Structure 1
Amino acid sequence: MPDNYDDIKHLTRPQYDDLHPMSMHDRAAQFSPFAALVGYDDAVSETARLTDSKAELTEDEMFELNANLNCLLDSLDEQPQISVTYFVPDEKKSGGKYVEKVGVVRIYDSYANELVFKDGVRIAVADMARLDFTEELQ
């Protein structure tokens, strides 16, 4: 039985002058993944990110915090190094996280009720959960 394509089997594929072979990079781009929903992955990871709620201090914790804060305010001239654990609210969702800052307080801003550290960081007293001295006072 004769083959229907015997007359064209020996021919090479046609070459066109105005078409150039596609580069490997362009060919690979045809098969790259496609994100149908732009930003969906970011939204899912933002939803999955956990935040802490701001804890209410017990009466004993508040007493200790106030005592240490008063001691700090009395000894600002000595520039003691302190460690403060405070709450930072999350910018995108409810809740936040607790952060620890170690440093030397420059001044207490009584108008804003904030501690101002030598490096410019400002921490509101209302956001503080703990205040400790990292070195002994004289």
Structure 2
Amino acid sequence: MSGKYDDIMSLQHPTSKKHPRMSRQNRAAQFSPFAALTGYDAVIKETERNIEEKRILSEDAIAEINENLQLIQEKKNEHPYVYISYFEKDIKKEGGIYKTIISQYKHLDEYKNILITIDGNEIPIEDISSIYLYEIDMK
């Protein structure tokens, strides 16, 4: 072979007396990609998250919710299943999302004005958009 570097190809790799040799993993890390805009992905994901404004209920809808809460209160000792649609406020943005659950009623905390279900959901009464007794067929 008569190459440009033939004279040094058989020589040993030089080793520094001052600095220890870098591991393969650390050498590879030098060439790995990096995020030029730190936090950009998180901002994009947050922007993509859909939220909506809380709807203002009509007087009829409020009356229906109050009537259904009264029916549920009458059966409170039975811990009936209830179908609840409610607005959940977003902790990061203005607005929130509407959720619907089916759960067993536990009690109504009139001091805090919240409905509590057996599985621990605490739903403010003013955030409920609809509530019904949910009949389960146990046959």
Which residue does 1:88 correspond to in 2?
88
Which residue does 1:119 correspond to in 2?
119
Aligned residue type for 1:16: P
Aligned residue type for 2:29: A
Unmatched segments (≥5 aa) in structure 2: none
Normalising to structure 2: TM-score of the pair? Answer: 0.79
* Distance in 1 (alpha carbons) for counterparts of 2:23 and 2:124: 61
Give matches, 1:21-36, under 5 Å.
Answer: 23=24, 25-36=25-36
* Aligned CA-pair RMSD: 2.5
Q: How many residues align?
A: 131
* Distance in 1 (alpha carbons) for counterparts of 2:26 and 2:44: 31
For each residue in 1:23-71, what CA deviation from the matched residue of structure 2 results, as whole angstroms up to 9, or x when unmatched? Answer: 2x33432222121232122122212222111111123322221211111
Which residue does 1:16 correspond to in 2?
14
Q: Within the alignment, does 1:45 sit opposite 2:45 as a pair?
A: yes
Identical positions, percent: 34
* Distance in 2 (alpha carbons) for counterparts of 1:117 and 1:48: 31
* Distance in 1 (alpha carbons) for counterparts of 2:64 and 2:38: 50
* Distance in 2 (alpha carbons) for counterparts of 1:131 and 1:21: 65
* Distance in 2 (alpha carbons) for counterparts of 1:74 and 1:31: 69
Tell me: CA distance 1:92–1:104, structure 2 relative to 1, closer, same or farther (3 Å): same
* Distance in 2 (alpha carbons) for counterparts of 1:20 and 1:113: 67
For each residue in 1:79-138, what CA deviation from the matched residue of structure 2 results, as whole angstroms up to 9, or x when unmatched? Answer: 2111111111000011101112221122111111111112222111100011011117xx
Unmatched segments (≥5 aa) in structure 1: none
* Distance in 1 (alpha carbons) for counterparts of 2:120 and 2:46: 30
Q: Which contiguous aligned blocks of 4+ residues in structure 1 show a shift greater than 6 angstroms?
A: none
Please report how far the alpha carbon of residue 21 of structure 1 lies from its aligned counterpart in structure 2 after TM superposition: 7.2
Q: Within the alignment, does 1:69 sit opposite 2:69 as a pair?
A: yes
